[in-house]
Amino acid sequence: MSTPTRIAKLTLDDKTYDVPVMSPTAGPDVLDIRKLYAQADVFTFDPGFTSTASCESTITYIDGDKGELLYRGYPIEQLAEQSHHLEVCYLLLYGELPTAAQLQDFENRVTRHTMVHEQMHNFFRGFRRDAHPMATMVGVVGAMSAFYHDSTDVNDPWHREVSAIRMIAKIPTIAAMAYKYSIGQPFVYPKNELSYSANFLRMCFAVPAEDYVVNPILEKAMDRIMMLHADHEQNASTSTVRLAGSSGANPFACIAAGIACLWGPAHGGANQACLEMLREIGTVDRIPEFIARAKDKNDPFRLMGFGHRVYKNFDPRAKVMKESADEVLNLLGIHDNETLKVAKELERIALEDPYFVEKKLYPNVDFYSGIILEAMGFPTSMFTPIFALSRAVGWIAQWKEMISDPAGKIGRPRQLYIGAAARDYTPVSAR
C-alpha cells in the first residue's frame, strides 16, 4: 500500500483540505481523494476516467509520451524478441521471470488443461451457425462457471490459481471451436506436443481429412500477437473485469464481461474494423477521400487502427507487429495485395498529414495485426477473438491482483446528476 509523499491543498469556498499525494514507481503522481467526499462533501468528475487512477497495480506500465510498454518492468520489445507467450503469462501472473524448472512446470500445467468439458460441445451447438465468434465466446467463457464451478470460490487462493490456469489453457480451444462452429467444420482437439500458438493454429486450420502442419514463422508470428496483446494496464476491458470482480463475481463471469467490452470497435474490435475499412477504401487513389472524412468534424468516420488514449508518440506494439507483418507476408509471398498497398499508403499519408501529426494519431497495434491475421487465413470475424484469447492472461492477472488487494472495495462510481430535482407525482388524469 502506497504512503503519501507530500500533501496538496484544495481550497473550496473558505475551507482548505489536505489531499495526500502518492508517488508511483514510474509515471505521474496521484492525488488520493478517497476521503474528499467525507471531508468536503464534493465528488470529482472524470468521464472516461482520463485523469483517474482506479487502483494500485504492479503488472503493466505504459509511458504514452515515450511510447514505452513494460510488463513487470520488462520492455515489450525485449520480451517480443527473446521470450514467448507462456513465459510472459508466467511473468504477468507471478511477477518474476520463471526459472527453467518453474517454466516447465507452468507449461505442463497449462498444457494439461487445454481440453474443454465434452458437454461444452453441446453448449456450442445451441448457437446459430452465423453467430459472430465474439458472441459465442462471451457466452461460452461465461458458461465456464457452470462447467468448472469447483474453482469459483474467489476467497480460496487455490481456486483462484486453478481458474487462472484453466482460463489461459482453455481460451484458445474455445476461440478455435467458435471459429470451427461458424464455418461448419468439426472441432479439432488440442494436441499437447505443440506450442501454445501452434496448437491454436492447428485447432483452427486442421480438418479430420487433412492435418495442418504449422509453419514456424507463422507460429512465431502468432505467439508475438499473443505476447503483444497480453496486458495493457487499466484499459476498458481490464477495468470491466476488475469492476465485475469487485462484487465478488467468479473469474469466468468477469472475463466474459471483459470480452464483451473488448468487442467494441473503439477497443479490441478495431482490428476487424480496420481491415474492413482498408477493404472499403479498396484502392490507393481513394485514400484522400477517407482522410478528408476522418478530418471532417461532421462525419463520425475515424481512421480505424489510428490513435490511442495513452500512446501519444507511437505504439511500441505496432512497431514489433509491423516487423512480424513483413516476415509473414514475405513467407507467404504476398507483395502486391491491394489491401496491403492501401495500408502502407494510408500509413505514409497519415503520418505526414498535419491533422494526424498535431493530434498525435499514430498507427496502433490493430493496424498491423489484422494484416497478419488475414494473411494467415483468418476471417476478420476472428481478429477480436484472437485479441481476447491473448488478453486472457492480463485479465486474470489483474483480477487476481484486485482480489488480493487489502484496500479493495466494490467499484461504485458516483455521478454529477443533472436530471429533474425532486418533484411530486401527478396522476395521469391530471396531466
Which of 113, 159, 232, 308 is the catalytic position? 308
> Least distance to ligand ACO from the beta carbon of 153, Å?
32
- When the beta carbons of 90 and 383 are compared against ligand ACO, the nearer one is 383
- 130 is a catalytic site residue: no
The distance of closest approach from Cβ of residue 94 to ligand ACO in the complex, given in angstroms and rounded to an integer, is 25
Closest separation in Å from C-beta 265 to ligand ACO:
6
Least Å from the CB of residue 366 to ligand ACO:
5
| Interface with ligand ACO, residue 293, by CB under 6 A | no
Q: Pick one of 225, 226, 291, 365: the residue that binds ligand ACO (CB under 6 A).
A: 365
Q: How far apart are the first and last CA of the chain?
A: 56
> How far, in whole angstroms, is CA 412 from its chain's centroid?
22
Give the distance, in angstroms, between the CA of residue 94 and the centroid of all CA atoms in the same chain: 19
Q: Which stretch binds ligand ACO (CB under 6 A): 11-19, 240-248, 298-306, 329-337?
A: 298-306
**Residue 307 is a binding residue for ligand ACO (CB under 6 A):** yes
CA angle (99, 100, 103) in 5-degree steps: 85
Contact with ligand ACO (CB under 6 A): which of 67, 133, 139, 305?
Answer: 305
Among 191, 220, 267, 322, binds ligand ACO (CB under 6 A): 267
Helix axes 383-403, 157-182, angle to 10 degrees: 170
Question: Is residue 303 at the binding interface for ligand ACO, with CB under 6 A as the rule?
Answer: yes
Draw the binding track, 247-266, toward ligand ACO (x: CB under 6 A; -: no contact).
-------------------x
User: What's the CA gap between 277 and 279, in Å, rounded?
Assistant: 5
- Asked whether position 294 contacts ligand ACO by CB under 6 A, the answer is yes
Least Cβ distance, residue 278 to ligand ACO (angstroms): 12
Using rule CB under 6 A, residue 364 touches ligand ACO: yes
Cβ closest to ligand ACO, residue 6 vs residue 359 = 359
Least distance CB 47 / ligand ACO (angstroms):
10
If binding is defined by CB under 6 A, does position 361 make contact with ligand ACO? yes
Count of C-beta atoms within a 10 Å radius of residue 321? 27
Q: Is 65 a catalytic residue?
A: no
Select from 109, 117, 191, 302 the one that contacts ligand ACO (CB under 6 A): 302
Q: Which is nearer to ligand ACO, 8 or 349 (CB)?
A: 349
Burial of 55: CB neighbours in 10 Å, binned 0-12, 13-18, 19+: middle
Size of the site for ligand ACO (CB under 6 A): 18
Q: Which of 191, 220, 309, 341 binds ligand ACO (CB under 6 A)?
A: 309
CB of 310 to ligand ACO, least distance (A): 8
Regarding 190 and contact with ligand ACO (CB under 6 A), the answer is no
Q: In the numeric block, which cell numbers belong to residue 113? A: 488443461
312 binds ligand ACO (CB under 6 A): no
- The residue of the chain with the least Cβ separation from ligand ACO equals 307
**Site of interaction with ligand ACO (CB under 6 A):** 266-268, 270, 294, 302-309, 359, 361, 364-366
- The residues annotated with a catalytic role in the active site are 308, 366
